């Protein structure tokens, strides 16, 4: 009846030995993975004092008979692989057959298990790796593993455990990943007797994300179109433009059903979001990757946390493309709610003499005359009343649903970026000849880069010629950057673009050049009057991606009236 076999020595050594139990979180992870491998529909987790006093994981899975309950505590006893070549096809979570014996050797350990068809179950008690008792017992079907006093027999390791809060945060973060990887399984988790997670079985990943992190979090994500390539499929949820965090705790990557750390994934996300996310933020994501087992080496890390991919480039490319298309789709969806808001509110009133007075909470009546606007193309700026300027160049607007602060500089950058890209795509070179051409010197690597990208630079308005050695002749600059010192300008742009990423080829290089031009050109303070301000709003709202500057800063911050009510405690 036993399902477990002891691996041959040869196979055992193919499965590199390693420390499985780093900290309580790794314990929880191993035990929960065993439960999932056992086909559990529900898993109950409990821990105390950051997991150092107690970790208990119970499931309603297939359970074990008496023989297996004892065998599973022997090193390299696993029911999941038999010979080394199986390693290449591993789909289950565990496969090393070393978690339970490792855990049992460094704790006071109790295993209670029963197969659903059996009349009774088995209890095995182990301390420091030595079996203390085995007995028959009446328990519900499934398995419970209880680990008390982790490292009690290794005081040096026990001292290395961090504070309870830290260990607890690791446990919860690990469970979040596991729960996202298995939406169809219910999870309950109690910490020091208090419920910290209660996740019913979810119909879909979206529901699981909502149950875990809330509807607001789900709304920050957009489901990507499933994509596939040779040997892999991609799916899941990626951040809408502007939705990121300073840490990577909300970047979940699930490979073949297992939450992993995969540095190969970070680069394409970073590059794809370069213009949709503030620098220093990491886009939120729950990325699902299904990959042929032959292309993944999941036996690199003893806790199976890191995996090595055999062909990371194809995957990187696919993730980059998927993220780009999510961003493109999100911007269409995002523009609509603003532009399709109810009838236009009254036109704005703007105190030209003293713009600081424009920030007023009173409703100001509309003026008698309005500039006529062609009915075919409604002016999107009409959706907002322009109330004034604060802090020099933040415009204050009131819309149907709330108040908007608009950063005139970031907006200017976005508008200029899209205008220049449009001109480039149409083959216009937005360039202005210098009266006297200038010869500059560049460091060797920058010079080489310029020589490789002459066409891109020229398309963007830099009329340059390599001029022997490390020198360069500049004959014209982009119109929007006219008046700047050609040498420093080019130097700045080349160094910004050179470091902007490898995945951006062709149009991507031009985008990077234009992004830099726009950033430098829009760096000055907004000094406009009402007419300029309205034009800025209109042009921004007509942009394809109005919510972020091309370097990823937000252009607008919105405060809905509901949010204001909440902040003032009006509630409802
Ligand atoms: P691995 O998961 O790598 O096989 P483990 O040491 O984690 O190694 O577990 C050893 C074996 O014990 C598993 O292969 C499985 O057969 C059995 N086992 C462990 N946990 C459970 C569980 N919760 N339910 C049923 N069987 C289990
Ligand atoms: Mg295991």
Q: Which of 140-149, 289-298, 556-565 has the highest mean pLDDT?
A: 140-149
Looking at all shown ligands, the one closest to residue 68's CA atom is: 1
DSSP run (H or E) holding 260: strand 258-260
Domain contains 131: yes
**pLDDT at residue 361 in the model:** 29
* Same domain assignment for residues 147 and 227: no
CA-nearest of 509, 328, 493, 522 to 419 is 522
- How far, in Å, CA of 36 to CA of 185, rounded? 8
**pLDDT at residue 356 in the model:** 37
CA-nearest of 109, 105, 85, 87 to 96 is 87
* Same domain assignment for residues 140 and 226: no
CA-nearest of 463, 475, 476, 469 to 448 is 469
pLDDT tens-place string over residues 188-224:
999 999 999 999 999 999 999 999 998 888 888 999 9
C-alpha 156 – ligand 2 centre gap (Å): 25
What torsion, rounded to 10 degrees, do the Cα atoms 503, 507, 513, 516 define? -80
For residue 47, give the CATH number of its domain: 3.30.565.10
Domain stop point among 178, 203, 228: 203
Domain stop point among 310, 335, 360: 335
Least confident of 26-35, 88-97, 192-201, 325-334: 88-97
Confidence class for position 180, pLDDT limits 50, 70, 90: very high
Domain contains 213: no
Comparison of pLDDT for 127 and 502, the residue scoring more: 127
Q: Is 4 in the pocket of ligand 1 (CB under 6 A)?
A: yes
- Beta bridge pairs of residue 82: none
Of all atoms in ligand 1, which is nearest to the CA of residue 30?
Answer: 7
Confidence class for position 88, pLDDT limits 50, 70, 90: very low
| Best of 12, 35, 65, 100 for a ligand 1 pocket test (most atoms within 8 Å of beta carbon) | 100
Q: How high does pLDDT run on average in the chain? A: 81
Of all atoms in ligand 1, which is nearest to the CA of residue 61?
Answer: 24
Confidence class for position 469, pLDDT limits 50, 70, 90: confident
**pLDDT at residue 14 in the model:** 30
Confidence class for position 365, pLDDT limits 50, 70, 90: very low
C-alpha 46 – ligand 2 centre gap (Å): 18
**pLDDT exceeds cutoff 50 at 2:** yes
Are 441 and 397 spatial neighbours (Cβ–Cβ below 8 Å)? no
**pLDDT exceeds cutoff 70 at 152:** yes
Which long-range contacts (C-beta less than 8 Å, at least 24 apart) are formed by 480-483? Answer: 480/416, 480/420, 480/430, 480/517, 480/518, 480/521, 481/517, 481/520, 481/521, 482/432
In 49-167, the DSSP E strands lie at 54-59, 77-78, 108-114, 121-127, 130-137, 142-148
**pLDDT at residue 470 in the model:** 87
What DSSP assignment string belongs to 29-78? HHHHHHHHHTT-SEEEEEEEGGGTSEEEEEE-S----HHHHHHTTSTTEE
Beta pairing, strands 251-255 & 285-291:
parallel
Percent of the chain past pLDDT 90, that is, above it, reads: 35
Q: How many domains does the chain have?
A: 3
* Same domain assignment for residues 416 and 323: no
C-alpha 198 – ligand 1 centre gap (Å): 24
**pLDDT exceeds cutoff 50 at 372:** no
Domain contains 441: yes
* Same domain assignment for residues 169 and 225: no
**pLDDT at residue 401 in the model:** 81
Q: How many helices (H) and strands (E) are present in the chain, helices listed first?
A: 17, 27
- The reply to whether the predicted model has a pTM over 0.85 is no
Confidence class for position 80, pLDDT limits 50, 70, 90: low
Confidence class for position 117, pLDDT limits 50, 70, 90: very high
**pLDDT at residue 352 in the model:** 34
- How far, in Å, CA of 332 to CA of 341, rounded? 15
**pLDDT at residue 274 in the model:** 83
**pLDDT exceeds cutoff 60 at 90:** no
* Same domain assignment for residues 13 and 154: yes
**pLDDT exceeds cutoff 70 at 503:** no
**pLDDT at residue 153 in the model:** 83
Q: Whose Cα sits closest to atom 21 in ligand 1?
A: 34
Domain contains 1: no
For residue 356, give the CATH number of its domain: 3.30.1540.20
Comparison of pLDDT for 365 and 308, the residue scoring more: 308
The arithmetic mean of pLDDT across residues 362-386, rounded, is 57
**pLDDT at residue 407 in the model:** 93
For residue 310, give the CATH number of its domain: 3.30.230.10
| Best of 6, 72, 106 for a ligand 1 pocket test (most atoms within 8 Å of beta carbon) | 72
Range of the domain at 275: 220-335
CA-nearest of 372, 410, 366, 369 to 384 is 366
CA-nearest of 258, 252, 219 to 236 is 252
**pLDDT at residue 70 in the model:** 92
- Beta bridge pairs of residue 228: 233
Q: Is 72 in the pocket of ligand 1 (CB under 6 A)?
A: yes
Q: Whose Cα sits closest to atom 25 in ligand 1?
A: 63
Cβ neighbours of residue 544 closer than 8 Å, sequence gap 6 or more? 331, 418
- How far, in Å, CA of 447 to CA of 286, rounded? 41
Reduced DSSP (H G I as helix, E B as strand, rest coil) percent helix, strand, coil of the chain, to 5: 35, 25, 40
pLDDT tens-place string over residues 4-56:
655 443 333 233 223 567 789 989 999 999 999 999 999 999 999 999 999 99
Percent of the chain past pLDDT 70, that is, above it, reads: 81
The arithmetic mean of pLDDT across residues 74-103, rounded, is 62
C-alpha 43 – ligand 1 centre gap (Å): 15
Q: Which of 21-25, 318-322, 442-446 has the highest mean pLDDT?
A: 318-322
Confidence class for position 373, pLDDT limits 50, 70, 90: very low
**pLDDT at residue 119 in the model:** 93
* Same domain assignment for residues 26 and 86: yes
Domain contains 293: yes
Of all atoms in ligand 1, which is nearest to the CA of residue 96?
Answer: 3
- How far, in Å, CA of 158 to CA of 415, rounded? 58
Q: Is 11 in the pocket of ligand 1 (CB under 6 A)?
A: no
- How far, in Å, CA of 547 to CA of 331, rounded? 8
| Best of 6, 34, 39 for a ligand 1 pocket test (most atoms within 8 Å of beta carbon) | 34
pLDDT tens-place string over residues 246-280:
888 899 999 988 898 877 888 899 888 887 887 78
The three-state secondary structure class of 280 is: coil
**pLDDT exceeds cutoff 80 at 161:** no
* Same domain assignment for residues 190 and 226: no
- How far, in Å, CA of 154 to CA of 216, rounded? 44
Domain contains 165: yes
* Same domain assignment for residues 368 and 319: no
Domain stop point among 285, 301, 335: 335
């Amino acid at each position: 009846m036993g399902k477990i076999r002891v691996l041959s020595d040869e196979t055992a050594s193919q499965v590199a030995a390693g420390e499985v139990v780093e900290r309580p979180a790794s314990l929880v992870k191993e035990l929960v993975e065993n439960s999932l491998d056992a086909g559990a529909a529900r898993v109950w987790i409990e821990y105390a004092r950051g997991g150092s006093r107690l970790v208990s994981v119970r499931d309603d899975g297939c359970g074990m008979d008496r023989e297996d309950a004892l065998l599973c505590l022997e090193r390299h006893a696993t029911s999941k692989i038999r010979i080394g070549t199986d390693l290449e096809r591993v789909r289950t979570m565990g496969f090393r057959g070393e978690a339970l014996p490792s855990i049992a050797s460094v704790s006071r350990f109790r295993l209670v298990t029963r197969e659903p068809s059996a009349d009774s179950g088995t209890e095995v008690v182990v301390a420091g790796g030595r079996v203390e008792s085995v007995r028959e017992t009446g328990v519900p079907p499934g398995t419970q593993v209880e680990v008390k006093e982790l490292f009690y027999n290794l005081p040096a390791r026990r001292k290395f455990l961090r504070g309870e809060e830290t260990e607890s945060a690791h446990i919860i973060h690990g469970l979040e990943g596991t729960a996202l990887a298995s939406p169809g399984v219910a999870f309950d988790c109690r910490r020091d007797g208090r419920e910290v997670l209660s996740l019913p079985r979810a119909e879909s990943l979206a529901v699981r994300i909502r149950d875990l992190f809330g509807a607001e979090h789900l709304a920050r994500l957009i489901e990507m179109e499933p994509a596939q390539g040779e040997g892999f499929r991609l799916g899941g949820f990626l951040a809408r433009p502007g939705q990121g965090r300073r840490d990577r705790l909300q970047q979940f990557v699930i490979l073949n059903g297992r939450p992993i750390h995969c540095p190969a994934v970070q680069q394409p996300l970073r590059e794809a979001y370069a213009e949709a996310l503030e620098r220093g933020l990491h886009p939120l994501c729950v990325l699902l990757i299904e990959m042929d087992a032959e292309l993944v080496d999941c036996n690199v890390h003893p806790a199976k946390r890191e995996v090595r991919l055999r062909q990371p480039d194809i995957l990187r490319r696919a993730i980059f493309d998927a993220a780009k298309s999510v961003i493109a789709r999100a911007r269409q969806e995002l523009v609509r709610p603003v532009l399709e808001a109810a009838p236009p509110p009254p036109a704005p009133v703007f105190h030209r003499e003293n713009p600081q007075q424009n920030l007023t909470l009173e409703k100001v009546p509309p003026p008698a005359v309005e500039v006529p606007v062609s009915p075919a193309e409604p002016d999107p700026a009409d959706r907002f009343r322009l109330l004034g300027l604060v802090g020099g160049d933040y415009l204050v607007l009131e819309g149907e649903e709330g108040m908007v602060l608009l950063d005139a500089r970031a907006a200017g950058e976005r508008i200029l970026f899209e205008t220049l890209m449009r001109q480039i795509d149409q083959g216009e070179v937005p360039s202005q000849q210098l009266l006297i051409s200038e010869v500059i010197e560049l460091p060797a690597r920058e010079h080489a880069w310029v020589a490789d990208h002459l066409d891109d630079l020229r398309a963007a308005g830099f009329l340059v010629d390599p001029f022997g050695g490390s020198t360069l002749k500049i004959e014209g600059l982009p119109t929007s950057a006219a008046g700047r010192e050609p040498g420093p300008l080019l130097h700045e742009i080349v160094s910004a673009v050179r470091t902007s990423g490898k995945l951006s080829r062709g149009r991507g290089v031009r985008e990077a050049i234009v992004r830099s031009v726009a950033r430098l050109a829009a760096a000055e303070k907004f000094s406009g009057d009402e007419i300029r301000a309205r034009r800025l709003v209109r042009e921004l709202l007509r942009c394809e991606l109005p919510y972020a500057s091309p370097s990823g800063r937000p252009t607008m911050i919105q405060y809905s009236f509901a949010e204001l009510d909440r902040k003032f405690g009006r509630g409802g």
